Structure 1
């Protein structure tokens, strides 16, 4: 019997908790990018480079920490530390997608975030115990990545089971756009906390605890599908059973051969690579650019590194509503809508990130260019991020695992590449980084325009029993056999 206390539709509660899942995931992912600027002992360059911005404030790069808590990590070592999260992150995507489709996504999401939260919390203890041995920091970050790798496959499976097509762009965008809010909260609050306490460790404690609290609430409030939810109203259950027709509630198989030979799937993979390359460049290394090139202090760094993501979130939410409206009014076909909004999210950032590097040492103009760039990137979520649900609601978790997992490889490459290319922290070095980013955006977007699609694929219904497959049992099938 449903409880009248829960008057908010349960699919919206899932959407809100999914949003907070991504917020927590991204805060724990990005806080190191701010913290590391105050964890590393400052090294003066032996030779002055005319492409290096002059210090405007004497206290801009003065360390806030006790010297015993500063470590002599090189630029390349910092790149490895920042990239190591993604070493673990890409490994658990496909297993996470399979587990999510077998058991419904709830437990793989909750346990994954819990793992990341615990290891975020203990990060300072590991660093102190090993006297700042960077290899151990890498190990902790890999384990955090292993936990978080299940996040998007599990969320995609949950959305496929809960969200009707008419609300897909809105709720999907709400959930996935949690990455911007997580980045804003992680960057701004990290800068403020470090400046207030003069202790970089505080951010790991605060955000680790926040992650654990979210897990407890999520496990109490959310369920794998409408049929298993004890508080859902009969009205909503009937509505969803009629609207979500492409997700079967019996035993199904994963058509690996069809998925891996599908042009729209690989176009989606390539588009994800392009987005992730640009997004990880900003998320992982924008605080370093703000500190090393523009010489913001840690509090300013946290604030100004956050501003672009506020605009990205605003555009994400508004474009989600616009995209659904255009599709429902037949102004754009589903395929055209996905390609249009993906192109805006690719070429807008490509141009304005590059423009930021030509802003020189004008800090206000550089922040403005980064902000415009990330604003354009906000249309990515109603463009290609929800595309896995279009192509195959039935196997959306597995597809998201493949797409996001391969895209996550850029998280391994980008921070190390930037660390290797920007050892002297000059504008010229960073300009090379941003030109590479422009090229990746351009090429990957062209491939998505040529081969991407918004149509449900024939193999979504899995009528061909001769396909190569892996058996998957959904939650209801598990109940029926127990």
Structure 2
């Protein structure tokens, strides 16, 4: 090399060291390439969880469908069967149906804690089996008396309460950051489709066989599926016997920074002081208040004010459920697309999808109070509200794993507890002041969104890091 060339090279400035990526986007950097998703174990888990959550919600809503035949002596089921009929008042029916949530709210945090220590597969599988087995005893409990049926409903809530926190514990070990939204939302869509198809199937079973068979059939299928759950699901990629080495390395390397599951102790003080966690909890409470108002008040409003019973029209009743399920899947795909192409950071994506899923349903709800006696528009707004509300699945719902993957199940238990509270406080049977009810729900929802946008975060919190947690 000539001296002039050496001097020129010596005069060149030293290259600056590469900047380390921001924590929020570190998980999005190129790494081991994913295997084909069509034959991957992680997508297989999404399908299995979709079917599982389908069964869970089918088991949850069967009493809501059957109680019509259980208390109506003129129901068509009596012409084809000897199913008993009970003289329960509307108030008694309400107590029976709501008693499920008294058990359900109690095991949310316990389920997340058990899943983090014992494993999500075991906890979820046991919850599914117990829920299915207990469902088989609903006709017997009803025959014994209202007190027995209420007690059984509480037990069903206790058993089912562990399922969703355990699911998040599993996803924290299986879902790469760039695929979290689509994988988890495909699984969650099973809830909506399960509700929709269970209503259709329950009505057919009730008329052809009698209402007790609703519980026998769904409970029996659930027990069988729980056996498949234990055979098909593995706690993490390292334990899966059929996963490819490429896929295992891809998942493990993409989740390397988050650490393993938590032990028997939890950083409760740090959690209590965490604004990002409070942001999710407050937003869950507020959006669920609006959601339960839509589910409970809108049908009553349409019946009392618009004189239109949406439950009598199968197609219109199905639209909100179908729209919500499809919205879950599409929003998950879109969220991951934005993340994988580095269009927005993790925090920005979560806040964007939360804003869409909280602002628009609130606006649609307020609009209903100004449409007059137009039930077509009311049904359209109800369908749009529940469809768009599904985008929160790619927003604040998944944010638990973003900020604390090691404690995702327990955190979901905390925020789900907040989210269930509106079931006991949101309007249930109103005859006046509809506009005030709708404005109140929209206002609460807006407050939750603003709080979440202000304090939400997309990075793993210091208290959730393994080296800090083990000190």
Question: Same fold per TM (> 0.5)?
Answer: yes
Deviations 1:127-158, CA, capped at 9 Å, x for gaps: 1232xx2x433222111111111111110010
Partner residue of 2:87?
Answer: 71
Structure 1 residue ranges without an equivalent (≥5): 1-5, 43-61, 468-482
Contact 2:267 2:469 in 1 (8 A): no
**Larger relative contact order, structure 1 or 2 (CA cutoff 8 Å, min sep 6):** 1
Contact 2:181 2:333 in 1 (8 A): yes
**What is the Cα deviation at residue 238 of structure 1?**
2.1
Are residue 390 (structure 1) and residue 394 (structure 2) matched? no
Q: How does 1:23-422 map to 2 (within 5 A)?
A: 23-41=54-72, 63-64=75-76, 66=78, 69-74=85-90, 76-130=91-145, 133=146, 135-194=147-206, 196-197=207-208, 199-249=210-260, 252=263, 253-283=265-295, 294=307, 296=309, 300=312, 303-356=315-368, 362-414=374-426, 417-418=427-428, 421-422=429-430
Q: Taking structure 1 as reference, are residues 200 and 150 closer, same or farther at Cα in structure 2, changes over 3 Å only?
A: same
Contact 1:86 1:145 in 2 (8 A): yes
SS of the counterpart of 1:388?
helix
SS of the counterpart of 2:105?
helix
Q: Taking structure 1 as reference, are residues 273 and 153 closer, same or farther at Cα in structure 2, changes over 3 Å only?
A: same
Deviations 1:51-85, CA, capped at 9 Å, x for gaps: xxxxxxxxxxx7445495143322x4333323221
Q: Taking structure 1 as reference, are residues 405 and 70 closer, same or farther at Cα in structure 2, changes over 3 Å only?
A: same
Q: Taking structure 1 as reference, are residues 153 and 77 closer, same or farther at Cα in structure 2, changes over 3 Å only?
A: same
Partner residue of 1:443?
Answer: 447
**What is the Cα deviation at residue 262 of structure 1?**
0.2
**What is the Cα deviation at residue 114 of structure 1?**
1.3
Cα distance between partner residues in 2 of 1:372 and 1:450: 27
Partner residue of 2:31?
Answer: none
Contact 1:274 1:441 in 2 (8 A): yes
SS of the counterpart of 1:71?
coil
Partner residue of 2:10?
Answer: none
Moved more, 289-298 or 224-233: 289-298
Deviations 1:308-342, CA, capped at 9 Å, x for gaps: 01111112211111111112222222111111111
- Equivalent of 2:463 in 435, 444, 459: 459
Deviations 1:404-453, CA, capped at 9 Å, x for gaps: 12212223434xx41xx33xxx5x36655544432332222221122111
Deviations 1:325-378, CA, capped at 9 Å, x for gaps: 112222222111111111111122222234445556544333222111111111
Q: TM-score, normalised by structure 2?
A: 0.83
* Cα RMSD, aligned residues only: 2.8
Partner residue of 1:46?
Answer: none
Structure 2 residue ranges without an equivalent (≥5): 1-36
**What is the Cα deviation at residue 292 of structure 1?**
7.2
Contact 1:86 1:409 in 2 (8 A): no
Q: Taking structure 1 as reference, are residues 465 and 439 closer, same or farther at Cα in structure 2, changes over 3 Å only?
A: closer
Q: Taking structure 1 as reference, are residues 310 and 297 closer, same or farther at Cα in structure 2, changes over 3 Å only?
A: closer
Q: Taking structure 1 as reference, are residues 255 and 297 closer, same or farther at Cα in structure 2, changes over 3 Å only?
A: closer
Q: Taking structure 1 as reference, are residues 250 and 452 closer, same or farther at Cα in structure 2, changes over 3 Å only?
A: closer
SS of the counterpart of 2:39?
coil
Question: Which is greater in Rg?
Answer: 2
Contact 2:339 2:349 in 1 (8 A): yes
Q: TM-score, normalised by structure 1?
A: 0.81
Q: Taking structure 1 as reference, are residues 24 and 246 closer, same or farther at Cα in structure 2, changes over 3 Å only?
A: farther
**What is the Cα deviation at residue 184 of structure 1?**
1.5
**What is the Cα deviation at residue 257 of structure 1?**
1.4
Contact 2:125 2:226 in 1 (8 A): yes
**What is the Cα deviation at residue 403 of structure 1?**
1.1
